[in-house]
Amino acid sequence: MDGIIILSQYNNLIDAGLERTNAVLRTGELQMRPVLMTCVIAGVGLLPAAMVIRNWITGSEATCRGCRRGNDVGAIPYSRDFCPY
């Protein structure tokens, strides 16, 4: 998604009459913040999933409470072989 936005900005600057080198530099100046914000938010959003997977692989039950509460298919006891969370 970020690549499309960057290329769109670059093409707009080329169409406006800037030279390629100046268009690349200007695109970098204009799009650096939005791209970094997108990457940071994606990383923060995936952090909880990474923590659950880490705990599931190591056998820690601290964050995997979904099976003990029950889920869509009924109350299935906690099992490392079948844990949808």
Q: Which helix (H) or strand (E) holds 8?
A: helix 2-15
Task: Report the pLDDT value the prediction gives residue 63, as an integer from 0 to 100.
Answer: 46
The candidate with the shortest Cα–Cα distance to 68, out of 82, 49, 54, 50, is: 82
Q: What are the φ and ψ backbone dihedral angles of 71, each rounded to 5 degrees?
A: -145, -160
Q: Report d(CA 41, CA 29) in Å as an integer.
A: 20
E-assigned strand segments in 1-85 = none
Task: Report the pLDDT value the prediction gives residue 24, as an integer from 0 to 100.
Answer: 96
Strand partners, 71: 74
- Give tens-digit pLDDT for 3-24: 899 999 999 999 999 999 999 9
- Give tens-digit pLDDT for 32-49: 999 999 999 998 998 888
Q: What are the extents of the domains in the chain? A: 2-67
Task: Report the pLDDT value the prediction gives residue 83, as an integer from 0 to 100.
Answer: 55
